[in-house]
Amino acid sequence: MKLQVALDLVDLRKAIALTRDLCEVGLEIVEAGTPLIKMYGLPVVGALKAACPRAEVVADLKTADVGALEASLAREFGADWATVLGATNMETIEEFVREGKRIGLKTAVDLIGVANPVERAKEILRVATPDLFVFHLGIDVQKRAGLRFEELLDLAYRVKEGGVGVGIAGGLTEKEIEYVVKSGKSIDIIIVGRAVTQADSPKTKFMTINNILKSKS
């Protein structure tokens, strides 16, 4: 299991500084969050890559249309990964994944907002095979009653058992990471954001969470 840090920030200097600090303590995957990309554009991908050349960089585009074009742009600006919305039309997802495979970009389908993520993943797999499905409990949903983390993990693992890469995201803290480890359900990528980026010491918090995650192996 790998730990991905989502930089859902609007401060580029802070994003770069955080990436450099976390790089020193084992950062494997860093995400140029959607707000960061909307604020500064795709050049932020290259800035994060320069700040931590050893880490893979995710362009969290959440593409909803022109799939092939956006996948191509992400790769052009140095992204190792990019995301497409699972809720968008199937043609866009298919074009996004196909272009990603052609140009060496890993593709992740973000299932945020999808009523039945397992069935949607199955539908997508009939026409395209992305590298990852992200089971994502959105911030707005977390503020109200809705899907619990335990249920989200169960859904993700059902897809994982079919031989497909899965990730989970959405306000995860040490508590959820410990639950994943104790459950014995191996998830490919665990995505954390605020738990690290808003911590008093992001570097210390990252090391704590990463140590919990790596204790499984």
DSSP 73-112: HHHHTT-SEEEEETTS-HHHHHHHHHHHHHHT-EEEEE-T
pLDDT band at 136 (very low <50, low <70, confident <90, very high): confident
Query: Is the confidence at residue 143, as pLDDT, over 50?
Result: no
pLDDT of residue 145: 41
Domains of the chain in sequence order: 2-214 (3.20.20.70)
pLDDT at residue 119, rounded to an integer: 95
What is the percentage of the chain residues whose pLDDT exceeds 70? Answer: 94
pLDDT confidence of residue 137: 77
Name the residue among 30, 167, 39 with its Cα closest to residue 111.
167
Tens of pLDDT along 22-64? 999 999 999 999 999 999 999 999 999 999 999 999 999 999 9
Q: Residue 13: is its pLDDT beyond 70? A: yes
pLDDT of residue 100: 98
Provide the pLDDT confidence category of residue 139 given band limits of 50, 70 and 90. low
Global pTM value:
0.94
pLDDT digits (tens, 9 = 90+) for 145-200: 456 788 889 999 999 998 999 999 988 999 999 999 999 998 999 999 999 999 99
**pLDDT-based confidence at residue 92 (cuts at 50, 70, 90):** very high
Counting residues of the chain whose pLDDT is more than 90, the rounded percentage is: 86
Q: What is the pLDDT of residue 18?
A: 98
Q: Which of 6-10, 15-19, 135-139, 183-187 has the lowest mean pLDDT?
A: 135-139
Q: Which residues of 103-120 are buried (b: 16+ CB within 10 A; e: fewer)?
A: eebbbbbbbbebeebbeb
